[in-house]
């Protein structure tokens, strides 16, 4: 099987690193421990207590590249040795003031400059809520009346957003824009369409992220592709399953509206795989990234490409997984010549820990994900012990 080669999957990891990974995923297996750790982290940040203690540092090092762009060079170079590319993700939380939002936007500009000079970094990325106030996005999404001050604020948000897209396009660097909760996504989709129309005239440079657990995203993908065909621009999409399923269900229940996400994982998996099939079918105008830790979905795209003899390194098709996870997928795909990248978060430890805690919670809610990581690590440790008696 494509992902079964443990030697390839863990070639980059020392015995000590494997043991550390095992300890980390063993803790993440228990939702109670993850929630307790999150509460302790939030309290420490609120009380301005030091948080660079050993456990935090070990988790941070496993999943992140460093606190600054130069700190990430070792991770970038290590991945590149195995033909795995890097997407640097500045994962510090956005603020509420213009100065805080500007600070994040300025870091993304530095990231774009940095990535544009390094062939090991094929994409830049940013999260809209890091540079735009979520409360204002929610009002715009709901078509609520904005005050004069809010209108001015939203124009500044739009300018930050479009400036980053313009800068990445000027550098000929493809750009992923991450997805948000349904109640703030509509203005992001509108901006992404505007930017695709502007910058995707020759090829896909601007990539929107579609969370396929949403019941409307497959139809949206069809509509977007039809617009692109009629208006002569290219579509760029990153396909993910989705990160906010519990929040989406809880909010829908609280406010008494139909849940916008599927009720079962089977339905989400089906929508995701149908999106892969559709993007592949329309790959003349659609470039996409299969951003998934699901072996079946990744193998499905490989099968489609192989069935019509598309080269593994065709620039229209990419795979992506998070740094520190699913190395059996990433490294085996890269070894076979496919375009693969790892999402590598970076930023000050204190600012990035809320992001890491959310990722840990996601892992505990994904059936089998943490157990699969542990199973693979144990299998590799056993393989090494037999290879080196």
Residue 372: per-residue pLDDT = 86
d(CA 369, CA 177): 25
Q: Which residue has the higher pLDDT, 34 or 148?
A: 148
What is the pLDDT, as a whole number, of residue 367?
A: 46
pLDDT in tens, 17-61: 999 898 888 877 666 555 656 666 666 656 566 656 655 667 888
Residue 150 CB-density burial (10 A; 0-12 exposed, 13-18 middle, 19+ buried): middle
Please check the confidence at residue 64 and state whether its pLDDT lies above 90. Answer: yes
Span 66-83, average pLDDT: 97
Give the confidence band of 141 by pLDDT, cuts at 50, 70, 90: very high
**53 or 325, which is more confident?**
325
pTM for the full predicted model: 0.93
289 has a pLDDT exceeding 70: yes
Say how far apart CA 215 and CA 267 lie, in whole Å: 9
User: Taking 80 as the threshold, does the pLDDT of residue 326 lie above it?
Assistant: yes
Residue 12 pLDDT greater than 70, yes or no: yes
pLDDT band at 370 (very low <50, low <70, confident <90, very high): confident
Least confident of 14-23, 120-129, 142-151, 282-291: 14-23
- Tokens found for residue 231: 């208006």
pLDDT reading at 206 higher than 60: yes
The answer to whether residues 329 and 321 touch, using CB atoms and an 8 Å cutoff, is yes
Tally of residues, the chain: 389
Q: Give dist(CA 320, CA 238) in Å, integer.
A: 9
Q: Which residues of 249-272 are buried (b: 16+ CB within 10 A; e: fewer)?
A: eebbeeeeeebbbbeeeeebbebb
Q: How far apart are CA 33 and CA 80, in angstroms?
A: 34
Residue 300 sits at the vertex; the CA angle it makes with 295 and 305, to the nearest 5 degrees, is 130
- pLDDT of 215 over the 80 cut: yes
For 214-221, which contacts have Cβ atoms below 8 Å and span 24 or more sequence positions?
214/182, 214/242, 214/260, 214/261, 214/262, 215/260, 215/261, 215/262, 215/271, 216/260, 217/271, 217/275, 218/271, 218/274, 218/275, 218/278, 220/189, 221/275, 221/278, 221/279
pLDDT averaged over the chain? 91
Question: Tell me, what's the pLDDT at 242?
Answer: 93
Distance CA 87, CA 65 (A): 10
Give the Cα separation of 21 and 323 in Å (integer): 12
Distance CA 344, CA 216 (A): 29
Token pair in block for residue 286:
């659609």
What mean pLDDT comes out for the span 100-106? 95
| Long-range contact set of residues 330-333: C-beta below 8 Å, sequence gap at least 24 | 330/84, 331/8, 331/9, 331/10, 331/11, 331/12, 331/82, 331/84, 332/2, 332/3, 332/4, 332/5, 332/8, 332/9, 333/2, 333/3, 333/298, 333/302
Average pLDDT over residues 242-264: 95
Report the share of the chain in percent with pLDDT over 70: 88
Q: 359 pLDDT exceeds 90?
A: no
What is the rounded average pLDDT of the residues 257-263?
97
Q: Residue 59 belongs to what H/E stretch?
A: helix 54-63
Question: Are residues 218 and 282 in contact, defined by beta-carbon separation less than 8 angstroms?
Answer: no
**pLDDT value, residue 54:** 56
Query: At 237, which helix (H) or strand (E)?
Result: strand 235-240
Structure confidence at residue 309 as a pLDDT band (50, 70, 90): very high
Q: Which long-range contacts (CB under 8 A, 24 or more apart) does 43-51 make?
A: 45/350, 45/353, 45/354, 51/349, 51/350, 51/353
Find the distance separating the first CA and the last CA of the chain, reported in whole Å. Answer: 27
Using CA atoms of 157, 158, 160, 161 in order, give the dihedral in degrees to the nearest 10: 120
**Residue-wise pLDDT tens digits, 176-193:** 999 999 999 999 999 999
List pLDDT tens digits, range 127-139: 999 999 999 999 9
Q: How far apart are CA 10 and CA 15, in angstroms?
A: 10
- Quickly tell me which residue has 């699901």 as its tokens: 294
Label residue 95 by pLDDT band (50, 70, 90). Answer: confident
């Amino acid at each position: 099987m494509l992902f079964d080669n443990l030697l390839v999957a863990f070639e980059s990891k020392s015995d000590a690193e494997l043991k550390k990974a095992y300890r980390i995923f063993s803790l993440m297996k228990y939702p109670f421990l993850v929630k307790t750790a999150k509460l302790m982290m939030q309290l420490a940040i609120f009380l301005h207590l030091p948080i660079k203690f050993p456990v935090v540092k070990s988790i941070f090092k496993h999943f992140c590249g460093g606190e600054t762009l130069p700190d990430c060079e070792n991770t970038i170079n290590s991945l590149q040795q195995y033909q795995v590319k890097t997407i640097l993700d500045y994962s510090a939380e956005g603020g509420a003031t213009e100065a805080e939002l500007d600070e994040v936007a300025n870091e993304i500009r530095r990231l774009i400059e940095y990535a544009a000079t390094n062939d090991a970094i094929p994409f830049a990325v940013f999260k809209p809520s890091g540079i735009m106030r979520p409360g204002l996005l929610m009002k715009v999404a709901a078509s609520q009346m904005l005050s004069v001050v809010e209108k001015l604020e939203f124009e500044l948000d739009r300018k930050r957003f479009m400036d980053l897209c313009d800068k990445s396009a000027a550098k000929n660097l493809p750009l992923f824009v991450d997805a948000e909760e349904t109640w703030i996504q509509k203005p992001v989709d509108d901006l992404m369409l505007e930017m695709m129309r502007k910058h995707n005239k020759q090829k896909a440079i601007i990539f929107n992220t579609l969370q396929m657990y949403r019941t409307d995203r497959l139809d949206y993908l069809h509509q977007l592709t039809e617009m692109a065909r009629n208006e002569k621009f290219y579509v760029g999409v990153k396909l993910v399953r989705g990160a906010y399923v519990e929040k989406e269900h809880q909010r829908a229940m609280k406010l008494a509206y139909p849940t916008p996400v599927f009720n079962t994982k089977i339905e989400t998996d089906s929508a995701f795989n149908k999106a892969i099939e559709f993007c592949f079918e329309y790959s003349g105008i659609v470039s996409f990234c299969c951003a998934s830790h699901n072996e079946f979905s990744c193998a499905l795209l490989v099968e489609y490409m192989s069935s019509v003899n598309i080269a593994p390194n065709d620039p229209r098709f990419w795979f992506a997984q998070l740094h520190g996870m699913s190395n059996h997928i990433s490294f085996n795909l890269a070894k076979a010549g496919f375009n693969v990248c790892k999402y590598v978060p970076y930023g000050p430890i204190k600012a990035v820990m809320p992001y890491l805690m959310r990722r840990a919670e996601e892992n505990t809610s994904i059936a089998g994900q943490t157990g699969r990581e542990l199973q693979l690590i144990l299998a590799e440790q056993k393989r090494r012990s037999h290879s080196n008696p």
